[in-house]
Amino acid sequence: MTDFVLVHGAWGGSWCWARVRDRLAAAGHRVFTPTLTGLGERSHLLSPGVGLETHILDVVNLIQWEGLHDFVLVGHSYGGVIVRHVADRMAERVRELVYLDAFVPEHGQSLNDLAPGYAEMFRAQAIEFGDGWRMPPIPAAVFAVNEADAAWVDAQSTPHPLVTFETPAQLTGACDRIASIGYILAAGFANSPFPKFHEAAAARGWWREAIDCGHDVMLDAPDDLCAILLADRVSCVGAPAGSRSLH
């Protein structure tokens, strides 16, 4: 039995992970899918005071109060920024760190630094639609979410605090010393900012995978994603990084 902590991205919530959570639980594992403050079913808590540190502590405190050790930590999209900080602070507890089509900042970098083509748009939309501090959801179609789910995703998504995209990462480097680290790319997401992180993963010695689907892998390809998450990589730790695609 393995414990999984799955962290969603911007505008999302625990709901994003329902299909993956159900499959992993059915296989006998424990799964935690925290909703970050101010999003999803916690959208009533959104305020100008919610920042990157709030979201990091959402996950750190879950791990602390649930007494989790030797678990798999997964971050999707913006959630990559969160899990990188969590792993940096709690590296001794993390068995495996997985970036799922996610941002991977270095110390001093903000998410907007990693997506310069989007930064101006985020700020402009926050000014026009969110009193200057919150960003309205981006339509699911932009992320190549499958057609059957697109309208539902749009209805579920909630505004996200802009400051979380503008705050520089504060990292010691402990997050990169975890024994097993991997990157999963959504290969069916056109104009994606994420292939550069997938490519960099090889140079870091991380394992790599690619799934031919849109950005919301947990919705488009939950079976493929679960197969990757449940793969036994313990014997492969320290081996040369590999890469394969699932179609």
The secondary structure of residue 34, as a DSSP letter, is: P
Domains in the chain, CATH or no CATH each: 3-246 (3.40.50.1820)
Phi/psi of residue 151, each to 5°? -65, -40
| Token output for 114 | 């990693």
192 carries an active-site annotation:
no
Three-class SS of 130-141:
CCCCEECCCCHH
pLDDT of 114-153, one tens digit each?
Answer: 998 889 999 999 999 999 999 999 999 999 999 999 999 9
Q: What is the pLDDT of residue 246?
A: 55
Phi/psi of residue 221, each to 5°? -145, 60
User: Is the full-model pTM beyond 0.85?
Assistant: yes
Q: Which of 77, 110, 157, 192 is catalytic?
A: 77
pLDDT of 44-98, one tens digit each?
Answer: 999 999 999 999 999 999 999 999 999 999 999 999 999 999 999 999 999 999 9
Please, what is the angle between helix 79-89 and helix 52-66, to 10°?
Answer: 50
Return the SS3 of 183: strand
Question: Tokens 């900042």 — which residue?
Answer: 105
